[in-house]
Amino acid sequence: MSETQVIPVKDKIASSAHVDAQSYEEMYRRSIEDPEGFWAEHGKRIDWMKPYSQIKDVSFGPDDVHIRWFADGTTNAAVNCIDRHLPAKKDQPAIIWEGDDPGEDKTITYGELHRQVCRMANILKARGVTRGDRVTIYMPMIPEAAYAMLACARIGAIHSVVFGGFSPDALAGRIEDCESTFVITADEGVRGGRKIPLKANTDKALTKCPGVRHVLVVRRTGGDIDWHEDRDLWFHEEFEKVGDDCPAEEMGAEDPLFILYTSGSTGKPKGVLHTTGGYLVFTSMTHEYVFDYKDGEVYWCTADVGWVTGHSYILYGPLANGATTLIFEGVPNYPDASRHWQVCDKHKVNIYYTAPTAIRALMREGEEPVKKTDRKSLRLLGTVGEPINPEAWMWYYKTVGEERCPVVDTWWQTETGGIMISPLPGAIDLKPGSATKPFFGVKPEIVDTNGNVQEGACQGNLCIADSWPGQMRTVYGDHERFIQTYFSTYPGKYFSGDGCRRDEDGYYWITGRVDDVINVSGHRMGTAEVESALVAHKKVAEAAVVGYPHDLKGQGIYAYVTLVAGEEPSEELRKELVQWVRQEIGPIASPDLIQWAPSLPKTRSGKIMRRILRKIAENDYSNLGDTSTLADPAVVDDLVENRMNR
Ligand code: WT7
Q: What is the pLDDT of residues 424-434, one digit of tens each?
A: 999 999 999 99
Is the CB–ligand 1 distance for residue 311 below 6 Å? no
Query: Is there a contact between 320 and 288 (Cβ–Cβ < 8 Å)?
Result: no
Q: Ligand 1 in contact with 198 (CB < 6 A)?
A: no
Measured from the CB, is residue 496 less than 6 Å from ligand 1? Answer: yes
ipTM over 0.95: yes
- Supply the pTM of this predicted model: 0.97
Check residue 3 and give its pLDDT.
63
Pairing of strands 517-520, 523-526: antiparallel
Beta-bridge partners for 109: 93
Q: Are 556 and 521 in contact (CB under 8 A)?
A: no
Average pLDDT over residues 620-638: 84
Instruction: For ligand 1, pick from 498, 514, 518 the residue to mutate: most ligand atoms within 8 Å of CB.
Output: 498
Ligand 1 mean position, distance from CA 83 (Å): 32
Per the CB < 8 A criterion, the answer to whether 39 and 441 are in contact is yes
pLDDT tens string 402-423: 999 999 999 999 999 999 999 9
Annotate 150-216 with three-state secondary structure: HHHHHHCCEEEECCCCCCHHHHHHHHHHCCCCEEEEECCEEECCEEECHHHHHHHHHCCCCCCCEEE
Rounded Cα–Cα distance for residues 608 and 630 (Å): 9
pLDDT digits (tens, 9 = 90+) for 510-522: 999 999 999 999 9
CB 409 within 8 A of CB 364: no
Residue 461's contacts (CB-CB under 8 Å, 6 or more residues apart) are 446, 447, 448, 449, 489, 490, 495, 496, 498, 499, 500, 514
Ligand 1 pocket mutation, candidates 166, 485, 510, criterion most atoms within 8 A of CB? 510
Report the pLDDT averaged over residues 40-66.
97
Ramachandran category for residue 441: left, alpha or beta (phi over 0 → left; psi -120 to 50 → alpha): left
pLDDT of 490 reads 97
Phi-psi region of 160 (alpha: psi -120 to 50; beta: other; left: phi over 0): beta
Q: How far is the CA of 105 from the centre of ligand 1 (A)?
A: 30
CB of 534 within 6 A of ligand 1: the answer is no
Nearest protein CA to atom 6 of ligand 1, as residue: 385
What integer pLDDT is reported at residue 2 of this predicted model? Answer: 46
- Give whole-number Cα distances, 133 to 124, 125, 158, 218, 459, in Å: 10, 11, 6, 21, 44
Q: For the chain, how long is the longest CA-to-CA vector?
A: 74
Band the pLDDT of 1: cuts 50, 70, 90: very low
Please name the residue whose Cα sits nearest to atom 11 of ligand 1: 387
Q: What is the pLDDT of residues 110-136, one digit of tens each?
A: 999 999 999 999 999 999 999 999 999
Q: Would you state the pLDDT for residue 61?
A: 93
Does ligand 1 come within 6 angstroms of the Cβ of 385? Answer: yes
Q: What is the pLDDT of residues 68-102, one digit of tens each?
A: 999 999 999 999 999 999 999 999 999 999 999 99
18 lines ligand 1 (CB under 6 A): no
**pLDDT for res 92:** 98
Q: Each residue of 382-403: pLDDT tens digit?
A: 999 999 999 999 999 999 999 9
Ligand 1 atom nearest to 524, measured from its CA: 21
Q: Is the CB of 515 under 6 A from ligand 1?
A: no
Which residues are documented as binding site for Mg(2+)? Answer: 535, 537, 540
Provide, rounded to the nearest whole percent, the portion of the chain with pLDDT above 90.
95
- Determine the Cα angle at 272 with ends 302 and 158, to 5°: 85
Sequence-distant (≥ 6) Cβ neighbours of residue 207 within 8 angstroms: none
Tell me which residue has its CA closest to atom 21 in ligand 1: 524
Query: How high is the pLDDT of residue 228?
Result: 98
The answer to whether the CB of 160 falls within 8 A of the CB of 576 is no
Burial state string for 616-639 with b = 16 or more CB within 10 A and e = fewer than 16 = bbeeebeebeeeeebeeeebbebb
Q: What is the mean pLDDT of residues 252-260?
A: 99
Query: In the beta sheet, which residues pair with residue 325?
Result: 95, 299
Decide whether any atom of ligand 1 lies within 6 Å of the 498 Cβ: yes
Does 393 contact ligand 1 (Cβ within 6 A)? Answer: no
pLDDT at 495: 98
Determine the pLDDT at residue 186.
98
Whether the CB of 510 sits within 6 Å of ligand 1:
yes
State the pLDDT at residue 630. Answer: 84
